Amino acid sequence: MAEKGPVCAEKMGPNPKVRPRRMQLVNNCLKPGLWEVSASDFVGEMFDGCFQMPQPLYYKLVQEVNGLDHVKEEALRKSLT
């Protein structure tokens, strides 16, 4: 007979009564275009995940936000990596 995991692991699932109190979207400093999403409540972190923004879109965003329209994408890529 196969062993079952802990009983509590079988019953785990989302709690509809608990909602995040804080959401964050952060540009991760480890790699250009890597973004981190997290949610937390009063007790602590509920969710944490990362996603990679497509490079052309990321460089366009950096150019627009920082007023660097005159900077070529290749030069911008070298300065950010």
CB 45 within 8 Å of CB 38: yes
pLDDT of residue 58: 85
**For the whole model, what pTM was predicted?**
0.53
| SS3 readout for the chain | CCCCCCHHHHHCCCCCCCCCCEEEEEECCCCCCEEEEEEECCCCEEEEEEEECCHHHHHHHHHHHHCCCCCCHHHHHHHHC
pLDDT of residue 57: 87
| Average pLDDT value for residue range 25-49 | 84
Distance CA 29, CA 67 (A): 20
Q: What is the pLDDT of residues 48-74, one digit of tens each?
A: 888 898 888 888 888 888 887 766 666
pLDDT of residue 55: 84
